[in-house]
Amino acid sequence: MANLTLKVTVIGGLSDYGITYRLQKNGQLIQAKKYLESFEKTFTDLNGKYSLYVYGSGPATNEKKVIIRLVFNDSEIDLIERLSSDNPLEETTYEISGDYYFITI
Amino acid sequence: MKKLIVALCLLLSSNIFCQEKDTLNKIDESVKNEAKKIISNEVTDKRSANWQDVIANYFQLALKDIGGEKRKFELKTTLFNIKAKANKDLWTDYNYEKEKFSRNFQIEAGLSLNDNNRINAFTYGFGWSYNGRDRSINILVNSKSAAIYKNYKDDLINAQEAYYYYLEKINDSEWEEKIKEVQAIKDKYKSNENEIKMIPLREFPVDFRRFLSEKYENYSENFIKQNKSDIEAIGRKPYFFIGVNNSLNDKSKILDNYKIQAVFLKGIKSQNIKMEIDFRNTYKIYDSIQTITYKRKEFSSQLGLNISILKKDEKSLIEFKPSFEFKRIFSSLMDDERNNQFLANADLRVRILKNLWIPLILKYDIKNNNLFGFLNISFNAIKDK
């Protein structure tokens, strides 16, 4: 069973619409949560094919920046890089989104 | 006094004050360059001029009394901006939220030049505000528009997932390109402005559209209306400021001349016109015209209504503020001047560039039938991390 940590850092004020993650497995929603500020979330016991969507907004300021980073705690997960957003992803736009596809090996 | 000026210049990291010493031309050049730099950057420009005058969320640089006898340069910033220069981690949201006092503690410094373009006065001041309108803190996360945004994103992600597995199921030879195409459309609509642009249905490939719900087409229109309304509600929240500033010259001592000011602003909900109540009270002591030996002490109370009379795309272009003012002079009355004065004022502000306003202020002495006029130019600079 594999583990994966999602780290989201919000810079330049508070996220206007919050930051939400949605973890899907084989097209089905497994977990979803909205955070009002920077957060770190570890997904454990992963087994199979997953999609992870991160979306929301940065602060309504000129200094807005959101950093989305996935940390793989072991080598048992393969991030499908050709389909996924950058890791780490630095978003300086107001609306932010990161789409990640991965599979446990 | 010179040491104090230098110290505050360093504190504010202002190139303008420190580099330019003698000539007005040099200062003008510096200000122009700064203005070009500022205007070239994106700034939030939906605030009214009335609001910007009071709040120094950004470094504010102003030229006052252009063409008059006293040429004056002012710089305003917050304690937070100074602290954040030393510690950039303060910009991270959980630290930023804790810096409530420093974000709302305003510091200002200014120089006045005489006819020979020599510094003849230095002003500095401090102030604190309660800011219900600060969009960096007052967020939309629990607003009605947030609920529409959630439904829109859920709909879009569900469609993405269904599309992804559909392409896989039918062994589509171009499945990877098709997924990337949808992602590219999503990226294209991410805006650097402080707004969310929902993707119109027509932008998606035909075979993707059928995975979106029937409600999808309505999200954008509903969201734009609700988002505008939610932001306007924040813009009408109360704002209170209290501050003191002091003016020094070669012949004066600390606290010889000072001003205490309290400002209260509160927006009024209206269908088309942006309006706000503006209530200001000021007590000041300064050199009388005849001699600096006698100080002029005066209190004024002003109640007005700031109206955005012309706007385009939510940007206020021309603002008008009629107000009534009561002024009480406690000492150093001029000839034929009365202790108590009632004035009818009219401020007209015209936006000539993204963040550059020209205000024309008219004051009419109701009892003595006297009319006075003043012209200022001011602009706001973006925050410097």
pLDDT at residue B298, rounded to an integer: 92
pLDDT at residue B64, rounded to an integer: 56
CB atoms B160 and A96 under 8 Å: no
pLDDT at residue B52, rounded to an integer: 55
Looking at the complex, report in whole angstroms how far the Cα of residue A20 sits from the nearest Cα belonging to chain B. 9
Model confidence pLDDT, tens digit, residues A57-70: 999 999 999 999 99
CB atoms A17 and B42 under 8 Å: no
CB atoms A95 and B196 under 8 Å: yes
Q: Count other Cβ atoms within 10 Å, centred on residue B37.
A: 11
pLDDT at residue A73, rounded to an integer: 76
- Tokens read off for A25: 């497995």
Tell me which amino acid residue B79 is.
L
For the full predicted model, state whether its pTM sits above 0.80: no
Q: Can you tell me the mean pLDDT for A84-92?
A: 95
The answer to whether residue B102 neighbours chain A at the CB level (below 8 Å) is: no
CB atoms B157 and A62 under 8 Å: no
Q: Which residue of B has its CA nearest to A99?
A: B183
Helices and strands per DSSP (H, E), number in chain B = 11, 13
B175-181 long-range Cβ contacts below 8 angstroms, 24+ apart = B176/A82, B176/A83, B178/B205, B178/B207, B178/B208, B179/A83, B180/A83, B181/B205
The answer to whether residue B196 neighbours chain A at the CB level (below 8 Å) is: yes
Model confidence pLDDT, tens digit, residues A14-68: 999 999 999 999 889 999 999 999 999 999 989 999 999 999 999 999 999 999 9
CB atoms B137 and A11 under 8 Å: no
Contacts of B189 in chain A (CB under 8 A): 95
Mean pLDDT of successive 10-residue stretches along chain B, which has 385 residues: 42 37 41 40 48 49 55 82 93 96 91 76 89 94 96 96 92 90 93 92 94 94 94 93 84 74 91 88 79 77 91 80 91 78 88 78 76 61 39
DSSP A21-50: EEEEETTEEEEEEEESS-EEEEEEEE-SEE
